[in-house]
Amino acid sequence: MKQLAVLSLILVLSLMSIVSFGQVSARWELVENHFGNQEYHQAQISLTNTSSQTIEEGWNLYFNTIFISVATQSLHEDLRFRHLQGDFFTIEGKSKSPAFAPGETLVIPYRSQGSFLKNSYAPEALIFENANGSFFEIKDYQTTTISKSELIQMAEGTSIPIAQNETLIPKKEWEENQVPPFLPSPKQWNYTGPTIRVKNAGLGVVGDPEFVQVASFLLQRIKKGYKPQVNREEKPITIQVNRVDGLAKEAYRIQIEDRKVVISATSPEGALYGVQSFLAMMPAEFWGEGTDELILPQVEVEDEPAFGYRGLFLDVARNFQPKGQILKLLDLMSFYKLNVFHFNLANDEGWRIEIPGLPELTDFGSRRGFSKDEQDFLWPYYGSGAYPEQSPSGTGYYTREDFKEILAYAHSLHIEVIPELGVPAHSRAAILAMEKRYRDLMKAGKPDEALRYRLADPDDRSVYLSAQNFKGNTVCVCQESTYTFYEKLIQEIKTMYQEAQVPLQTWHTGGDEVPRGAWKASPICDDFLAKNPEIKREDLNDYFRFRVAQMLKKEGIGHGGWEEIGQSHQGDDITPNEKFADQNWRLYAWNAVAGWGGEDMAYRLANAGYPVVICSSANFYFDLAYNWDPDERGHTWSGVVDTYQAWKTVPGKLYLSHDQTIAGDPWDWKEAEGRFTQLTEKGKSNILGVSGQLWTETVKSPEMMEYYLLPKMLGYVERAWAGDPKWASLATENEMKRVREDEWDRFVFLLRKKELPRLERQFGGFNFREPAD
C-alpha cells in the first residue's frame, strides 16, 4: 500500500508539473490596418507565462487563420512565421525560440498582406508546443475587436459599403390580397374570398392511389401541427390530393373554398409541392407547439417552377455536419421546393464517406488534430482543435448506413442527391490516406496491394500552392492507380445508391482550381508523356477529365463538375473548351465576382453547348458574410451576400443582378449589358437552373450553418422557383428600379410576417439571423 501511495504521489506531482508548465495566456491585437493600393495589416500576438516555471527555449506556437498571407513577415528578431498547409501556421525560432520566465510577456508583432476586415479573421485555436514535444491548447486567449465606425474610418477613401446594412423592414403594411399566400411565390394566385379560421374541426385527407405516399406525408405533418379537441358540430375540413392529366411534371393546382381543399397534380413531385404549399399557409404555431385552429385563405393557385434544377450545395469536408442536421436540411429544402442536394463529401481538409476496402479514407482522412508530421490524422484545419476525438467539426464521417438513410430520405422528398468527390485537385485528404495505406502495406510485405490505389508520385517535386494554400493536393494523373482508385469510388457509391433503391443519375467530379504548376516536375508524368507523345503536358488535365468521364459513362452516370472542366486557359484568358462541348457534361458556373469580368461565363459555356447550372458566387454563395460589418462572420472574396442580393438575381439577364462591384463602385447596367455575352436560343435551352452554395471554412456547427443559410437562402429560393423577376422585363432602368423596390418590399413583408415566425419553430426551429431593426 505504501508503494502504491508513493507511486500515486509521484503521478500527481508529475501531472501538476505538466499542468503548471502548460499555463500560457495569449492576446491578439490589431496595430495598423491599411487600405488602398498596397493593402496590409499589422498585428501582434502576446504570450504570457502564467506558470511558476520558465518556458524553455525551442517552443512553437501553432494557429489557424485563412486571412493572413502565407508570406506573413515576423517583426520579432528571433521568431518567424511559417506556413504549413491551408490555414495552419506556426511561429518558431529562427534558430531557437527564446525562453521566457514566469510572469514574462513575449510580444510577437507581424505584418501581412491584405486589409483586416472581420473580427473573426484573427488567428484562432492556438496550440503551444513545448521544446520536449508536449503540447496544449491555449484556453486563455483574448482578441481585441474593431467596431463598424472604426472600420469605416480605416477604409476612408475606398468605396467599400461598410455602412450598409439590410434591415428587412417593409415600408408599408400590405393587405393580405396584395401578397402571395406563401413563398416561393406561385406563378398565379387569386383570392376568392375572406380568410376563414377553423377551430377544433375534424379533418380528413384523401389521396388518389398514385398519390398515397404524398397524402400520407401530408397527414403525418398535419397530425404533428393540428391538435384539435374535435367538436362534432363543426363542419370538418376535407383535403383531396387528386391526380389530373395535362400538368407539367412539377406543376400543381390548389383550390381552397370554405373547408374544402383540393390539391391537383399530374405527378407525385407536383403533388408534393402542392402539399408543401398548403402547409406553408398554416400558422406559425402549427410548426411548434401545435394549434387547435387553422387559418385557411380562400384561394386558387396555379403553379410550376421556372427551372428544372433547383439545387443546394453543402460542403461537409471543411467542417463536418452530423447526419441529423443533413436530414433537417432536406426537410427545409423540400418545404421550399428545392430538388437537388449537391453533397461535397471530400476535400483537402477531410474525407466524409465510408468506402469499403479503403478504411484509411475515414480512419485517417475523417479525423483532425495536432501532430508534428500529419502521419495518423490530418492537421486541425479551421481551428478544429488539437484532439481528434474532441473535434465535432474536424472529425466525423457518414457510414454506409448513414449515407443510405440520407439517400432514401431525400428520395422520399423527390430530392436528387449528387455526390461530389473532387479531383484532380482538392484531394489532399485522399492522397495522404492512400500514402498511409501504402506505408502500412509495404511494411506488411504487400507491394502490389500497396501500389494499387496510390494517388501520389513520391518523387514529384512540382511547386504549387492551391487557392486555399495547400501544397501536394493534386493527384497524379499519369499513373493507373489513380484511375483504379476513382473507379473504386464510383462502384462503391453506386452500390450504396442501389441498396438504398435510389437511382444515381449524376456524379460531380469537382475539377476546379487545379493549381498551376501541378505535374511539372513529376518523373511519372515525364515518363508517361515520353511514351505518349500525342499528349502534351498542358493537356494532362483534359486527359484526366476525359478518362473520368468515360468511367461514369460506362456506369450510366451523368458527369458534372465545376465550370473549369469545360474551360481552356490561354495565358490569363479563360474560354469554353470546345473539345468537350458535345459530351453533355454539366457545368456549375460559379466564378462571377462582380467587376472582375467573368460574370457572364455561364452564358458563354451554355452558348458553347454545355448544360449549365448558375451558381454565381456574387449572389448565391451563402458563406459570404451578410454585410461588411466587422462583427458579421463570413468571407468577402466575392463581395457580400444578404437576402436582397440573392433575391434580386436575374438568371436570364445576369447583368441586372448587381448594383455595385466588389469594390463598392457603381455597377452600370447599360455598360454591363453591352459587354455581356448574350444567350443564344441554344444557350437558353442549356441553362438548367440555379444552385445556392454553402462552403464551410468558417462554419463550425449546425447552428452556424443555419445562421449562414437563413434568411438569405429564402431570397435564392424565390429565384430558383419563380425565375426572373417581373421588374427585369420592364423598358427603362428607372422603371425597373422603381418596380423592383415595390416587389422587394412585398417580399420582405411576407418574410417578416410568415417565414421568420415559422422558422423559429419549424423542424425543431432554426438559428436564423435576426434582421436588424
* pLDDT at residue 678, rounded to an integer: 96
Cell triple for residue 153? Answer: 474610418
DSSP E strand boundaries for 371-511: 416-423, 506-510
pLDDT means per 10 residues, the chain with 773 residues, are: 41 38 88 95 98 96 97 98 98 97 98 97 98 96 97 95 90 94 98 95 96 97 96 95 98 97 98 98 95 95 98 98 98 98 98 98 98 96 98 98 98 98 98 98 98 98 98 98 98 98 98 97 98 97 98 98 95 93 98 96 98 98 97 97 98 97 95 96 98 98 98 98 98 97 97 97 97 74
Instruction: Tally the C-alpha atoms within 13 A of residue 434's C-alpha that lie toward its C-beta.
Output: 24
Pick the last residue of a domain from 108, 135, 154: 154
Pick the last residue of a domain from 276, 303, 330: 303
Report if residue 159 sits inside a domain.
Answer: no
- Count of domains for the chain: 3
Domain membership of residue 445 as a residue range? 309-567+644-738
What is the CATH number for 221?
A: 3.30.379.10
Report if residue 278 sits inside a domain.
Answer: yes
Report if residue 597 sits inside a domain.
Answer: no
Report if residue 588 sits inside a domain.
Answer: no
Report the chain's terminal Cα–Cα distance, integer Å: 69
How far apart are the C-alpha atoms of 159 and 663, rounded to whole Å?
6
Q: Is 683 helix (H, G, I), strand (E, B) or coil?
A: helix
Cell triple for residue 308? Answer: 428544372
Label the pairing between strands 260-265 and 237-243. Answer: parallel
Report if residue 756 sits inside a domain.
Answer: no
What is the CATH number for 677?
A: 3.20.20.80
0.85 exceeded by pTM: yes
How far apart are the C-alpha atoms of 112 and 470, rounded to whole Å?
18
Report if residue 615 sits inside a domain.
Answer: no
Q: Are residues 124 and 256 in the same domain?
A: no
Query: Could you tell me the strand order of the sheet in which 60-64 lies?
Result: 79-85, 88-93, 60-64, 124-129, 135-137
Q: Are residues 345 and 478 in the same domain?
A: yes
* pLDDT at residue 164, rounded to an integer: 87
How far apart are the C-alpha atoms of 726 and 719, rounded to whole Å?
11
Peptide bond into 424 cis (omega under 30): yes
CA torsion angle 390 396 401 402 (round to 10): 100
Report if residue 401 sits inside a domain.
Answer: yes
Report if residue 573 sits inside a domain.
Answer: no
Q: Are residues 499 and 448 in the same domain?
A: yes
* pLDDT at residue 37, rounded to an integer: 86
Q: Are residues 293 and 327 in the same domain?
A: no
CB 311 within 8 A of CB 330: no
Pick the last residue of a domain from 303, 323, 355: 303
Q: Are residues 266 and 383 in the same domain?
A: no
Q: Are residues 264 and 314 in the same domain?
A: no
* pLDDT at residue 299, rounded to an integer: 98
Q: Are residues 145 and 278 in the same domain?
A: no
Packing angle, helices 323-335 and 268-280, rounded to 10: 90
Q: Are residues 70 and 27 in the same domain?
A: yes
How far apart are the C-alpha atoms of 68 and 71, rounded to whole Å?
8
Identity of the amino acid at 45: I
Q: Are residues 448 and 335 in the same domain?
A: yes
Taking the CA atoms of 216, 218, 221 and 223 in sequence, report the sign of the dihedral they define: negative
What is the CATH number for 50?
A: 2.60.40.290
Q: Are residues 298 and 313 in the same domain?
A: no
Q: Are residues 552 and 697 in the same domain?
A: yes
Q: Are residues 358 and 495 in the same domain?
A: yes
